[in-house]
Amino acid sequence: MVSPFHRSRPLQAGKLVAVILTLLASAAVFFGVAPNAGITTLFLAPLVAFVLTMVVVAEALVAGYRALGDGRGVTDRLADRPLYGAARTLEAGLAVAAVAGFLALVAWIPEGPMAGPGAIGVFFVVVGLAALVLVGTLVRTLVEYVDYRRSDSA
Protein backbone atom coordinates (compact mmCIF):
# COMPACT_ATOMS: atom_id res chain seq x y z
CA MET A 1 0.00 0.00 0.00
CA VAL A 2 1.36 3.38 -1.00
CA SER A 3 1.19 6.13 1.61
CA PRO A 4 -0.34 9.51 0.74
CA PHE A 5 1.85 12.49 -0.12
CA HIS A 6 1.69 14.09 3.32
CA ARG A 7 2.92 10.88 4.94
CA SER A 8 5.46 10.02 2.30
CA ARG A 9 7.02 13.51 2.14
CA PRO A 10 5.87 15.48 5.21
CA LEU A 11 8.33 18.36 4.85
CA GLN A 12 7.30 19.05 1.26
CA ALA A 13 3.61 18.72 2.12
CA GLY A 14 4.03 21.15 5.03
CA LYS A 15 5.85 23.63 2.83
CA LEU A 16 3.15 23.36 0.16
CA VAL A 17 0.37 23.95 2.69
CA ALA A 18 2.23 26.91 4.23
CA VAL A 19 2.75 28.58 0.85
CA ILE A 20 -0.81 28.03 -0.35
CA LEU A 21 -2.35 29.27 2.91
CA THR A 22 -0.07 32.31 2.94
CA LEU A 23 -0.88 33.21 -0.65
CA LEU A 24 -4.62 32.71 -0.09
CA ALA A 25 -4.66 34.77 3.13
CA SER A 26 -2.59 37.55 1.56
CA ALA A 27 -4.78 37.65 -1.54
CA ALA A 28 -7.96 37.66 0.57
CA VAL A 29 -6.75 40.63 2.61
CA PHE A 30 -5.39 42.43 -0.47
CA PHE A 31 -8.65 42.13 -2.41
CA GLY A 32 -10.81 42.94 0.62
CA VAL A 33 -12.50 39.55 0.79
CA ALA A 34 -11.32 39.03 4.36
CA PRO A 35 -11.35 41.84 6.87
CA ASN A 36 -7.95 43.37 7.49
CA ALA A 37 -6.94 42.57 11.08
CA GLY A 38 -4.43 45.39 11.06
CA ILE A 39 -0.96 45.92 9.71
CA THR A 40 0.25 42.63 11.17
CA THR A 41 -1.53 40.80 8.36
CA LEU A 42 0.88 42.44 5.92
CA PHE A 43 3.81 40.78 7.65
CA LEU A 44 2.47 37.26 7.09
CA ALA A 45 4.20 36.67 3.74
CA PRO A 46 7.65 37.92 4.84
CA LEU A 47 7.43 35.94 8.09
CA VAL A 48 6.47 32.69 6.37
CA ALA A 49 9.10 33.32 3.69
CA PHE A 50 11.74 33.83 6.39
CA VAL A 51 10.89 30.49 7.98
CA LEU A 52 10.78 28.77 4.58
CA THR A 53 14.15 30.26 3.69
CA MET A 54 15.70 28.74 6.80
CA VAL A 55 14.10 25.37 5.96
CA VAL A 56 15.24 25.50 2.32
CA VAL A 57 18.82 26.41 3.21
CA ALA A 58 18.98 23.68 5.85
CA GLU A 59 17.49 21.21 3.38
CA ALA A 60 20.06 22.17 0.73
CA LEU A 61 22.92 21.82 3.21
CA VAL A 62 21.72 18.36 4.29
CA ALA A 63 21.31 17.30 0.66
CA GLY A 64 24.79 18.58 -0.16
CA TYR A 65 26.27 16.71 2.80
CA ARG A 66 24.52 13.51 1.73
CA ALA A 67 25.72 13.96 -1.84
CA LEU A 68 29.30 14.32 -0.67
CA GLY A 69 29.06 11.18 1.47
CA ASP A 70 27.44 9.19 -1.31
CA GLY A 71 29.61 7.43 -3.85
CA ARG A 72 27.66 9.04 -6.69
CA GLY A 73 28.46 12.54 -7.83
CA VAL A 74 26.10 15.49 -7.84
CA THR A 75 25.90 15.44 -11.64
CA ASP A 76 24.83 11.78 -11.59
CA ARG A 77 22.06 12.59 -9.12
CA LEU A 78 20.85 15.50 -11.26
CA ALA A 79 20.97 13.41 -14.42
CA ASP A 80 18.53 10.90 -12.90
CA ARG A 81 15.79 13.53 -12.44
CA PRO A 82 16.68 16.72 -14.34
CA LEU A 83 13.34 18.54 -13.78
CA TYR A 84 13.46 17.83 -10.05
CA GLY A 85 17.09 18.98 -9.90
CA ALA A 86 16.21 22.18 -11.73
CA ALA A 87 13.29 22.86 -9.38
CA ARG A 88 15.42 22.20 -6.32
CA THR A 89 18.17 24.45 -7.66
CA LEU A 90 15.61 27.17 -8.43
CA GLU A 91 14.19 26.99 -4.91
CA ALA A 92 17.61 27.16 -3.24
CA GLY A 93 18.81 29.87 -5.63
CA LEU A 94 15.77 32.08 -5.02
CA ALA A 95 16.12 31.60 -1.26
CA VAL A 96 19.78 32.63 -1.36
CA ALA A 97 18.97 35.54 -3.70
CA ALA A 98 16.27 36.74 -1.30
CA VAL A 99 18.70 36.61 1.63
CA ALA A 100 21.32 38.49 -0.40
CA GLY A 101 18.72 41.05 -1.47
CA PHE A 102 17.57 41.55 2.10
CA LEU A 103 21.16 42.02 3.30
CA ALA A 104 21.78 44.52 0.51
CA LEU A 105 18.60 46.35 1.44
CA VAL A 106 19.63 46.55 5.09
CA ALA A 107 23.06 47.85 4.07
CA TRP A 108 21.47 50.44 1.77
CA ILE A 109 19.05 51.91 4.33
CA PRO A 110 20.48 55.11 5.77
CA GLU A 111 20.80 55.62 9.50
CA GLY A 112 18.22 57.69 11.29
CA PRO A 113 14.51 58.11 10.79
CA MET A 114 12.98 57.36 7.42
CA ALA A 115 10.06 59.18 5.83
CA GLY A 116 6.81 57.28 5.35
CA PRO A 117 7.10 56.74 1.57
CA GLY A 118 10.63 55.41 1.98
CA ALA A 119 9.52 52.96 4.65
CA ILE A 120 6.65 51.78 2.47
CA GLY A 121 9.08 51.27 -0.41
CA VAL A 122 11.36 49.21 1.81
CA PHE A 123 8.37 47.14 2.89
CA PHE A 124 7.40 46.51 -0.73
CA VAL A 125 10.94 45.34 -1.49
CA VAL A 126 10.76 42.95 1.48
CA VAL A 127 7.40 41.63 0.26
CA GLY A 128 8.89 41.17 -3.22
CA LEU A 129 11.79 39.18 -1.79
CA ALA A 130 9.29 37.11 0.19
CA ALA A 131 7.37 36.47 -3.01
CA LEU A 132 10.56 35.09 -4.59
CA VAL A 133 10.91 32.57 -1.79
CA LEU A 134 7.22 31.64 -1.87
CA VAL A 135 7.22 31.13 -5.64
CA GLY A 136 10.42 29.08 -5.55
CA THR A 137 9.03 26.88 -2.79
CA LEU A 138 5.71 26.52 -4.59
CA VAL A 139 7.43 25.41 -7.81
CA ARG A 140 9.63 22.89 -5.98
CA THR A 141 6.81 21.39 -3.93
CA LEU A 142 4.53 21.13 -6.97
CA VAL A 143 7.28 19.36 -8.93
CA GLU A 144 7.78 17.09 -5.92
CA TYR A 145 4.04 16.35 -5.84
CA VAL A 146 3.89 15.64 -9.58
CA ASP A 147 6.93 13.37 -9.23
CA TYR A 148 5.23 11.58 -6.32
CA ARG A 149 2.00 11.10 -8.30
CA ARG A 150 3.94 9.85 -11.31
CA SER A 151 5.90 7.32 -9.25
CA ASP A 152 2.68 6.31 -7.44
CA SER A 153 0.90 5.50 -10.71
CA ALA A 154 3.87 3.64 -12.20
Q: What is the pTM of this model?
A: 0.84
Neighbouring C-alpha atoms within 13 Å toward the C-beta of 11: 9
Contact 130, 98 (CB under 8 A): yes
End-to-end CA distance of the chain: 13
- 126 part of a folded domain: yes
- 14 part of a folded domain: yes
- 101 part of a folded domain: yes
Work out the angle at residue 141's Cα, subtended by the Cα atoms of residues 135 and 145, and round it to the nearest 5 degrees: 140
- 138 part of a folded domain: yes
- 81 part of a folded domain: yes
Residue 129 burial (10 A CB sphere; 0-12, 13-18, 19+): buried
Q: How far apart are CA 41 and CA 24, in angstroms?
A: 12
- Number of domains within the chain: 1
- 1 part of a folded domain: no
Encode the chain (154 residues) as per-residue pLDDT tens digits. 357 888 888 888 999 999 999 888 888 887 878 776 666 667 888 999 999 999 999 998 888 888 777 767 667 777 778 888 889 889 999 999 999 999 999 898 888 887 888 888 888 899 899 999 999 999 999 998 988 888 876 5
φ/ψ of residue 52, rounded to 5 = -65, -35
What is the extent of the structural domain holding 128? 7-153
- 2 part of a folded domain: no
- 31 part of a folded domain: yes
**C-alpha of 134 from chain center:** 4
Residue 87 burial (10 A CB sphere; 0-12, 13-18, 19+): buried
Q: How far apart are CA 68 and CA 133, in angstroms?
A: 26
Q: How far apart are CA 65 and CA 53, in angstroms?
A: 18
User: What count of other Cβ atoms lies within 10 Å of the Cβ of residue 94?
Assistant: 22
